Amino acid sequence: MAQSFETSTVHFGLDQETVNRSKTTPIYQTSVFSFKNLEELEAHYTGERAYLYTRMGNPNTDELGQAVAQLENAQAGVASSSGISAIMAGVLAVCKTGDHLIASEDVYGGTYHFLQNQLLDMGITVSFVDFSSPVEMEKAITEKTKLLFSESITNPFLRVEDLRAMVKLAQKHNLVTMIDNTFATPYLVQPIELGIDLVAHSATKYNGGHSDVTAGVMVGSSSLIEKVRQKVVSWGANVSPFEAWLACRGIKTLALRMEKQCDNAAKLADYFRQHPAVEKVFFPKGVSEKGNGAMVTIELQPDVDMNRFFSSLTWIKIVPSLAGVETTVSYPIATSHRSLPEEQQKKLGITEHVVRISVGIEKFDDIKLAFENALEFAKK
């Protein structure tokens, strides 16, 4: 039966018959699975029994990969220990020593650091390009290029990637495409349906939704995901069963949370546009009929005392991450994009006055009042 997105977030799970018929998938908090005899053991290697050792597979981790694949309308998915490990496994499933990939220059700082520094040790080179310019993207393609990588909504300035243009260019040059869909979530954007090959999520963020999980997911075609899965297994990048279980529990309220958070974020962006202490407001447009995301980035006026602003936010916490049910703020130049070279920070516009806001599910009037008071107090 065809299901809406909202229904799909609630009804997913492994098809397994157990004696107790648990309504929810139990937590398989075990490092290994046991066998009655050698025939049962051999059955694992012939594909008749799924599980042997949790690093190689576990019902909870499989459920997380399958749940996100279902929401993305992908053939298959695999869970990993974090968003970065999912990206790592995806890149290494496509690229090998001597290959080249092209990434958008305005990606998350942790991703930038991995692509720029860690891949070089493996003999994989990376070009960071302005993906808003198709001409610049195509100029960067060489005979060694294998992959195009970007984010559906970029971090921290929330540029909306033109996924159709990215797919068109990739098809012209026989390249694989990968998108980090963490900010948009499948609630707003389903890149697979637009032709993207691989889609990554930091399940730490909106999928988990409660700031108590570190996990990642990669989804795509069955053939590509099998290659990604082998990298996750071989590099020991598996997520624990309990964290996978928590992430699956969080997914069940993804649609409800995103609806409220997107609404609050749109209102907050409107409020900031009218505030004299705010020089620039960054908020996506045209992402989806359901909304434009739950992130708002602002650049405050030079006369705003940043220390006083952050210290007077009362109940709004300063954190290096995002996407919990609570409204939080982060300081990109000191956290998420700290590892970028100074010239790259300047090029992208990441200054001491840029603040990234993850908007929560609280009553909007309370969110507005908290920022109103902090901005008033921070005037020099």
Q: Tokens in use for 211?
A: 């700031």
Alpha helices in the chain (DSSP H): 5-10, 38-45, 59-72, 83-94, 109-113, 119-121, 134-139, 163-173, 185-188, 222-234, 241-251, 254-273, 306-311, 342-348, 364-377
Q: Where are the domains of the chain?
A: 5-251, 255-377
282-338 residue pLDDT tens: 999 999 999 999 999 999 999 999 999 999 999 999 999 999 999 999 999 998 788
- 236: alpha, beta or left? (left if phi > 0; alpha if psi -120 to 50): left
Q: Do the domains 255-377 and 5-251 match in fold?
A: no
Q: Among positive and negative, which fits the CA dihedral 103, 221, 214, 318? A: positive
106 with 157: CB under 8 angstroms? yes
Confidence of residue 1 (pLDDT cuts 50, 70, 90): very low
46-98 residue pLDDT tens: 989 889 999 999 999 999 999 999 999 999 999 999 999 999 999 999 999 99
238 with 244: CB under 8 angstroms? no
At 345 the pLDDT is 86
300-310 residue pLDDT tens: 999 999 999 99
100-144 residue pLDDT tens: 999 999 999 999 999 999 999 999 999 999 999 999 999 999 999
Is CATH 3.90.1150.10 correct for 255-377? yes
At 279 the pLDDT is 97
11 with 3: CB under 8 angstroms? yes
Measured distance CA(370)–CA(356) in Å, rounded: 15
Class of domain 5-251: alpha beta
Measured distance CA(189)–CA(260) in Å, rounded: 17
Q: Percentage of residues in the chain with pLDDT exceeding 70?
A: 98
Kindly provide the b/e burial profile for residues 170-182, where b requires at least 16 CB atoms within 10 angstroms of the residue's own CB: beeeebbbbbbbb
141-156 residue pLDDT tens: 999 999 999 999 999 9
Checking if the pLDDT of 20 tops 80, the result is no
Return mean pLDDT, the chain.
Answer: 95
Residue 52's SS3 state is coil
Measured distance CA(195)–CA(179) in Å, rounded: 11
Checking if the pLDDT of 2 tops 60, the result is no
